[in-house]
């Protein structure tokens, strides 16, 4: 039985090293792609904000009481789907009805008037919480204190 020449052994060794290098390079590339996707998902979610503030119901010279409005801003480059918005006071559960929101376009801001029965003008600023879906099909929970948490579809909104 012939063991082959030295040149055959060197060529075979080179082929093994090349195969191992190829497999290693593919593994690194897949790892980098996963990390890039994770970072992009978080990056989109970090461009979303929610807050409440007063807004007069008519022109700026109106001296009547101001109503609280909830705002959802999407400063990202892709739309988000906001399943619901809940308003209350920090440390307590939601007050009043849950607001069904829908799509907030990229670069857009949506606003929703809050019930004056539950949030009287001149009262405490409401605490807000939204659950939204990004374009990577990841669900997020965001509150008006800028706390962002990745959640599952069925996770309930917390009480503040």
pLDDT digit string, tens, across residues 59-85 = 666 666 678 999 999 999 999 999 999
Tens-digit pLDDT profile for residues 42-53: 788 999 999 999
Q: Which pTM value belongs to this model?
A: 0.69
Which portions of the chain are predicted below pLDDT 50? 159-160
From the candidate CATH numbers 1.10.3470, 2.60.40, 3.30.310, 3.10.20, the one assigned to the domain spanning 46-151: 2.60.40
Which residue's entry shows tokens 């029965």? Answer: 117
Domain boundaries, the chain: 46-151
Nearest in space to 130 (alpha carbons), one of 78, 86, 74: 86
Is 59 buried (19+), middle (13-18) or exposed (0-12) by CB count in 10 A?
exposed
Phi, psi of 118 (to 5 degrees): -90, -30
Helix, strand or coil, per DSSP, at residue 70: strand
Maximum distance among all Cα pairs of the chain, rounded to whole angstroms? 103
Phi, psi of 130 (to 5 degrees): -125, 155
Strands 80-88 and 102-104: antiparallel
* Residue 69: predicted pLDDT: 93
- 160, 89 contact by CB (below 8 A): yes
* Residue 159: predicted pLDDT: 47
* Residue 17: predicted pLDDT: 85
Q: How far are the Cα atoms of 30, 61, 118 from residue 94, in angstroms, in the given order?
A: 43, 33, 10
* Residue 60: predicted pLDDT: 63
């Amino acid at each position: 039985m012939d063991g082959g020449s030295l040149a055959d052994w060197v060529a075979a060794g080179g082929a093994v090293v090349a195969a191992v290098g190829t497999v290693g390079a593919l593994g690194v590339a897949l790892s980098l792609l996963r990390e890039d996707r994770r970072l992009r998902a978080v990056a989109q979610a970090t461009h979303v904000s929610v807050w409440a503030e007063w807004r007069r119901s008519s022109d700026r010279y109106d001296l009547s009481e101001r109503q609280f409005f909830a705002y959802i801003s999407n400063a990202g480059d892709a739309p988000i789907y906001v399943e619901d918005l809940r308003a209350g006071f920090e440390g307590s559960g939601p007050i009043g009805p849950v607001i069904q929101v829908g799509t907030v376009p990229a670069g857009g801001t949506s606003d929703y008037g809050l019930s004056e029965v539950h949030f009287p003008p001149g009262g405490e600023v409401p605490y807000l919480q939204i659950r939204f879906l990004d374009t990577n099909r990841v669900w997020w929970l965001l509150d008006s204190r800028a706390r962002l948490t990745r959640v599952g579809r069925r996770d309930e909104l917390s009480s503040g």
